[in-house]
Chain A
């Protein structure tokens, strides 16, 4: 029986070399990837991998990203998976391509293959002083071969491009104002679309005077399909005016249905839940045992932590572009999943998916599932009214804040016991949450697009469901990476969903690691132990220990300097318990009178195995830390009983240039270890490190995000009252 051959990464989907690499006649090399760029640097990383294996200069590489007409179906660009999936495929495909090129070169030069050397795509025979280029051999032609189990990529010791900082390929266009984003694409005869959404999720349209918008000069069409409303105009300004006019000419009936903002977490924990035990990171249908404090417990600590619903809050609101040519639809989208989007659109329009082409085009960073797919659907809806013409829909700022799917609010309850020596002997962790999944899927009876919920022939949203896979959604990060002798982890999936939710960077990790790493501090303090030493004594993995020790050294970790409003906090996680290791330290200053927390400095130590582009890795880790600090210090989706009230940057403030910390970053380069995704590695430790630093500074424990000045003042006065 033939041995099963397991090819790495996305080669499992498509092992043909031509699906990943093409040598052009003009001396450039195209790398094809089904992953998409949104500022995380994946374009440059896969280019480095291809250039390395092929032995060509990085400048020769052109990267073609997700396009259902061209690239392999690599599903979503999410979960820190691009390097392991697409990067691995390109590594082996490029190695296989190089082997074929070398065979051809050997034949062309009539010398043995192992006497040849390659320099930037030129194959030379030192013995005969003759040479031939890749483009001579292959330019414009296909390899017609597959990657096989025999394909041998370079050994990491030979790397000259991978593992070294490379400037991002996409940055120059953005620095010189060249067209780089979906909004910048010049299209002949382009029309501008805007949508008019209901003022709240459940609002019913009573009447709409479409003539109010038709009267605006430059308006081409006003579209109404049930309660789906939109305008199409020759100019963007006219579309914006028509949107406002149409919105003012609609009468809606609204209902009060949201929980009380001030008691959100009590509401969440008192709803009907699906309760599951989490074993080895997987939710299972087993009874959840009661918490029984072990007899040998010298100290037992329990605490409840919470995070609110939060927005992706992309700087560029979502946009989509579409054109119908007969029954064929072309859509440009900044979706994280071009193939899944196509499948969902095919269901929404009840047409074969072969009739639809989806092409990725960049917008501002998305950080998960924001309004990208909806804006694409909106464009396709509006474009139906103007066959043969391309319509670009740009969501306005309030469309994005009110309608994008949020990251779910979460409540985490931890209870743990220490023995007399200060070792954790029992660990209990319960998490309550809505879903962290909600992307559009290929279903007929339900739909993941807003437009489908509102149009006349409406399709309802699917019943919310979380990702229940290993370290999947709400329970991602709930399984401690520490070596505890006994753990009991429970996931309580809160069934009523007051808000639209989906994937926000790091999913449950942000709430869970906030709770786990805050609890680690609370336990160490209870036992009177050093916060770093306490973590190390529960951590066997040498790479995990290394990042903790490194970050403490970088930060000049020194409890003697804390107090009087200044403190340091540390926290650690290994993302998904299987990816990048990251430890962070925050230095904070707390002004007790105002409750303001300043974060002048932060430190990161991380280990992502082989870092293909170390500068790109640092950029992702630092960006993740700043974004998570913003979530921690400032962010919560606000609402009243009827409406979302976070509609702009004043009602949903984020961290500004005045407030961000300066950051020092160290990344262990482990060339012989597998490359691991880094984009979500600092989201978890950041909130805990800030909370722990605040405790070090003023002795007040913050367990509810965001740490706004009002909340900090309240916690300070409660702590003072308790001491009296």
Chain B
């Protein structure tokens, strides 16, 4: 199979993720979209690895999975904590960093 298809699919998933991060307001959804982007990257890595016959890409994909897991732990933890404190789950209201 041509490498192109995999890359197109990966790009589509990545674009979906970006759109989700940019457009949605719920932190939970944003986190999901971040996962989408990471997995799009994973797909591209695996595709390149297969087509080039080099296992480095697979190793990278594993590392990305680990990092994604860590990130989800922190992110979900923050979200749960915010929910428990009855802070509205809307990223547009988290504006304390405004200059």
Report if A and B associate in a common complex: no
